[in-house]
């Protein structure tokens, strides 16, 4: 899973969002480090929708334009949880070695 995909799914954990809302949520979650381009977002949403990870929730018209909201599916939630656990386990390996590297030799 790519970093943008991970943060797109994470953005939908609290409920449905439209594209701009997803972009802003991902940016906020990464303290501005990750800025998802519009093309990247909609390409990823399309692939994740085909894979059953997200689904269109509803649409509304804002300023004459359709705004589609997406929601996380059960499969999306499961994949996101597995990816978070995988990253946590991977980080623990490095963090553990970093702590041990700072210890005085015996």
Q: How far, in Å, CA of 41 to CA of 97, rounded?
A: 35
Higher pLDDT among residues 62 and 16, named by residue: 16
Rounded (10°) angle between helices 38-50 and 3-11: 80
Phi then psi for residue 76, to 5 deg, are -65, -40
Q: Per residue in 63-89, pLDDT tens?
A: 888 899 999 999 999 999 999 999 999
> How far is 53 from 68, CA to CA, in rounded Å?
16
Exposure string of 67-86, with b = 16+ CB inside 10 Å and e = fewer, is eebbebbeebeebbeeeeee
More confident: 105 or 11: 11
Contact 37, 23 (CB under 8 A): no
Tell me what the mean pLDDT of segment 4-30 comes to: 96
- Looking up tokens 């623990």 gives 92
């Amino acid at each position: 899973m790519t970093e943008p995909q991970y943060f797109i799914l994470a953005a939908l954990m609290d409920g449905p969002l439209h594209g701009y809302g997803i972009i802003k949520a991902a940016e906020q979650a990464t303290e501005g480090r990750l800025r998802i381009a519009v093309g990247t977002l909609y390409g990823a949403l399309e692939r994740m929708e085909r894979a059953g990870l997200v689904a269109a929730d509803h649409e509304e018209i804002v300023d004459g334009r359709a705004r589609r909201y997406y929601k996380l599916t059960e499969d999306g939630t499961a994949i996101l949880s597995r990816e978070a656990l995988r990253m946590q386990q991977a980080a623990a390996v490095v963090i553990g070695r970093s702590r041990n590297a700072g210890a005085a030799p015996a």
